[in-house]
Amino acid sequence: MQKILVTGATGGVGTRLRMLMKGLYPSIRWSDIRKPDDLAADEEFIVADLADLAAVKTIVAGVDGIVHLGGYSIEGPWEMILNANIVGCYNLFEAAYRAGVKRVVFASSNHALGFYPRSQRVGVNVTVRPDSRYGVSKAFGEALGALYADKHGLRVTCLRIGNVGDAPLDQRRLAIWLKPEDLVQLIRIGLEHRDIHFEIFYGASDNADVWWDNSNARRFGYKPTGKADDFRAQAMAAQAKLPPDPIGDRYQGGPFCSDEYDADRAG
């Protein structure tokens, strides 16, 4: 991997990666629909809207691997999700394949499976159960990844990211927290491991409360260093201040499940 493209570079995760991935590859191109305020003179950055195929063709040109973070990252109106995550993700994979890019690491999400109950441990071979239009768009991105891997030989890794941050912020995030350095480890496996064809990994650290079987990532050498348990007291103190959420607390997707929820009212 000589040259890498990272989309969504101005967002929360992208901003962390601009620090953590410095020097990891000979050349990194960053892209987003908006430019970061703190761009350094030695950082290559191209402004591009993922919904614009011509612009996406420009950002993928000449790169060996892509870390695709760009898109709408929470629940939102269908038009926003459609443009950024459905059209945008299609454009990314299609342009990557046409340009001869070898690998894509796609930032999927736990919200592609948010309606699994917290009592159930899920692996990577289960039906998706999205908890939002956003979650559906991530399931769509995973399906696109499988298509381009199986049909065109692109090497694709989907990371079902839990929650990236310095520490888990509440009880739910004790189960799904991902230390930023562990995310970098997963990205590197996706970009570098010789046996990647199409893989799904859970983006979670070594959390005692975990709901996911992440043995597939460990099979590829993933050794998470973060332990959510180290922050249990502060996460539970924050949890105690949250209002009760009977639906959200039942399912893995938390508030994404209770948002707009009215299934109980169906006949």
Residues that bind ligand NAD (CB under 6 A): 8, 10-14, 32-34, 49-51, 69-73, 83-84, 88, 107, 109, 161, 163-164
Q: DSSP assignment of 85-150, as one string?
A: IIIHHHHHHHHHHHTT--EEEEEEEGGGGTTSBTTS-B-SSS----SSHHHHHHHHHHHHHHHHHH
Q: Which pair of structure tokens corresponds to residue 231?
A: 């922050």
- Of all residues in this chain, which one has the CB nearest to ligand NAD in the complex? 11
Q: Is 97 among the residues known to form the active site?
A: no
Which CB, 92 or 151, lies closer to ligand NAD?
Answer: 92
Which of the following is catalytic: 72, 116, 134, 222? 134
Closest distance of CB 266 from ligand NAD, Å: 29
Helix, coil or strand: residue 68: strand
Closest distance of CB 51 from ligand NAD, Å: 5
CA–CA separation, 106 vs 200, rounded Å?
A: 10
DSSP letter at 84 equals I
Which CB, 40 or 195, lies closer to ligand NAD?
Answer: 40
Q: DSSP assignment of 202-250, as one string?
A: EE--S-TT--B--HHHHHTT------GGGGHHHHHHHHHTSPP-HHHHH
Among 59, 69, 151, residue whose Cα is nearest residue 105: 69
Which CB, 15 or 216, lies closer to ligand NAD?
Answer: 15
Closest distance of CB 10 from ligand NAD, Å: 4
Which CB, 109 or 207, lies closer to ligand NAD?
Answer: 109
CA–CA separation, 81 vs 50, rounded Å?
A: 12
Closest distance of CB 74 from ligand NAD, Å: 7
Which CB, 26 or 166, lies closer to ligand NAD?
Answer: 166
CA–CA separation, 85 vs 71, rounded Å?
A: 5
**Catalytic amino acids?**
134
